[in-house]
Amino acid sequence: MTEPILPPVVLTIAGLDPSGGAGILADIKTISAFGGYGVAAVTSLTFQNSHGVYGTLDQSGDTIRRQIEPLLEDFEIAAIKTGMLPSAQLIRDVATMIERAGVPIVVVDPVLRSSSGFDLVDEQAVGALKSCLFPVAGLITPNVAEAGRITGIDIRNQTEMERAAAFLLELGAKAVLITGGDANSAFSEDLLFDEQGTTGYRAERIRSKHTHGTGCTLASGLACLMAQGRSLRESIPIVKRYINSAILSAPALGHGAGPLNHFPPGFEIED
């Protein structure tokens, strides 16, 4: 009798967005859409809807540890994706757990601010990201604004994106994908920088307010595909196509910046 093919288990360590547009709920939906099995640890309870974030209740390092350790003992975790990590101490604790776990795929989405402009971390936390978490990451996925804040570089063109990516690689990450989806231009310009060199990904920008959670979706989708054995360079176009389909088919839920559609009709992962 043939053994069943088990889905890869992907652990997301991120904040809880009760509206379901971003954070661990968006991660779990994305992981499911890509054929994985999602498990999660909540770093912060956020108070938000499609209009914005109204506050947070951050969890302690001990609370996070007590969530993660039983999962590591019970499941064979194929990949870890991190999102909102609101304090320097929590970041240090999570980095230590990741390093001890020895999980082969670690994708860090350095969430610094909500799409509505609510600051989610302070400068001490940014410093801990740079000194503790990036060195254990296989991939980090900042958008242009996040990359600029972390590096101190005012990113206005591809040359400055490349400078920022090189700076981030020097901090220890194996690969950096800077996304330009938040820039004000006719095209979305993303840049991958790794040991193989620089690769750009350009697509026509989709004008829509239903883009809440695109960063979470990108990072968790890449983690899931790489957990299935795909390379990073193979995975990026697939996830970008998924996000485009999800935005175009968004169900217009909520009255603000609504969520995208995590199960876009007709979307198939091409072999």
Q: Where are the alpha helices (DSSP H) in the chain?
A: 23-33, 61-74, 88-101, 123-128, 144-151, 158-170, 214-227, 232-248
**Domains and their CATH numbers in the chain:** 9-248 (3.40.1190.20)
pLDDT at 153: 93
Token pair of 200 as six digits? 């750009």
CA distance 177 to 191: 6
pLDDT at 10: 98
Global pTM value? 0.94
pLDDT tens, per residue, the chain with 271 residues: 566 788 999 999 999 999 999 999 999 999 999 999 999 999 999 999 988 889 999 999 999 999 999 999 999 999 999 999 999 999 999 999 999 999 999 999 999 887 767 778 888 999 999 999 999 999 999 999 999 999 999 988 888 889 999 999 999 999 999 998 555 566 678 999 998 899 988 877 787 887 888 999 999 999 999 999 999 999 999 999 999 999 989 888 888 888 888 889 888 887 5
